[in-house]
Amino acid sequence: MIRFLARRLAFLLLSLAGLVVLTFVISHVAPADPATLAAGPDATAGMIAAIRHQYGLDRPLPVQFLLYVEALARLDLGHSVATGHAVAADLAVYLPATLELVLLAMGFAVVAGVALGIFAAIRRGGIADHAARILAVSGIAVPAFWIALILQLLFSVHWRLLPIGGQLPVAVAPPRPLTGMVILDALLRGRPAVATTALVHALLPAFVLALPCLASILRITRQEMIEVLAAHYVRTARAQGVAPLRVVTRLALRNAMVPILAMIGLRFGFMLGTTVLVETVFDWPGLGLYAVTSATSADFAPVMGATLAIGVLFMLATLAVDVLYALADPRLRVS
């Protein structure tokens, strides 16, 4: 197991190095000049040169890259040209909101996707199975932003059942931060009404974010469960009178968990990317909205910081999934 973890950690560090190089290159091949945008439309050439020197944009690219890596080693992600704020401080504010939304969406997607996949496999060929397959296809094929707009139009504009966006109403004061996640902080501070309000605000964006993940988990669960339920040891257990629930949960699902866990880890990373669109549509104050706002003003330091944060979270999630399915199947530890 130690060798398995060492190999996975080495691969993680290599991936992180590639991500650092990629974000640096992309930020420097963009046609926009952040110094010109930060100086404003009436700035002189001398003012633009001063801003470029202040942020080190006038140095050779290899020097800028070495300084960038050195700063990253100190957890210094630079400063926003537009606001002057430290990017690391901004990420500490916006990242918990994104994690709150992603965790809510992932929890719903895993529970609903696995349950519906098992039910569809048991009822193979029936109406429930056909409905589950339609959901699996449409959940991946339909764009997330289109679903978000349709749900806003129905639930917020026409039916007025759910808020159209935001994390809390303007009149509701958020709880003093402990984790940065409003729902959890409200519960920890003893404000259940605020937690309920925040949860209601999170329902639509969490559902939209969860739908592609739910569809993928449903599809892989159905496929794996159909194969496992047809295995000889499952039919033997049924012939011996083992309870159907025990056959499904203890035998079939347990042996189908490795590909399901792999899909969960993969979809977690995709969900972190999709949150950019969802947060923008629902005006959710998270990392995605922060990155979009910075990108529209060609403020590259926040965009690079947000990209690195999402990439590191994706890598950590992949590592966690690797460990989980190595525990579920010891044969994978030697691979």
DSSP calls for 136-164: HHHHHHS-HHHHHHHHIIIIIIIS--S-S
Going by pLDDT thresholds of 50, 70 and 90, the confidence category of residue 131 is very high
Q: Do 167 and 185 touch, CB atoms closer than 8 A?
A: no
Cα-to-chain-centroid distance, residue 117: 22
pLDDT score of 320? 85
CATH of domain 89-334: 1.10.3720.10
Question: Residues in the chain, how many?
Answer: 335
Whether pLDDT at 186 is above 80:
yes
Strand partners, 79: 86
pLDDT score of 162? 96
Residue 146 to residues 112, 139, 170, 281: CA-CA distances in angstroms? Answer: 22, 12, 26, 10
| Amino acid found at 219 | R
pLDDT score of 335? 55
Q: How high is the mean pLDDT of the chain?
A: 89
pTM: 0.88
Which of left, alpha, beta for 160 (phi over 0: left; psi -120 to 50: alpha)? left
> In this structure, how many other beta carbons lie within 10 angstroms of the beta carbon of residue 108?
18
DSSP calls for 162-194: S-SS-SS-TTSPPPPPSSS-HHHHHHHTT-HHH
CA distance 13 to 2: 16
CA distance 193 to 36: 47
Going by pLDDT thresholds of 50, 70 and 90, the confidence category of residue 31 is low
Which of left, alpha, beta for 56 (phi over 0: left; psi -120 to 50: alpha)? left
Backbone angles phi, psi at 86, to 5 degrees: -70, 130
pLDDT, tens digit, 9 for 90 and up, residues 76-92: 998 887 788 999 999 99
> CATH 1.10.3720.10 spans which residues of the chain?
89-334
Nearest CA among 110, 160, 150 for reference residue 324: 110
* Class of residue 49 by CB neighbours under 10 A (exposed 0-12, middle 13-18, buried 19+): middle
pLDDT, tens digit, 9 for 90 and up, residues 209-258: 999 999 999 999 999 999 999 999 999 998 899 998 899 988 899 888 88
Q: What percent of the chain has pLDDT over 70?
A: 96
pLDDT score of 332? 63
pLDDT, tens digit, 9 for 90 and up, residues 92-104: 999 999 999 999 9
Cα-to-chain-centroid distance, residue 200: 20
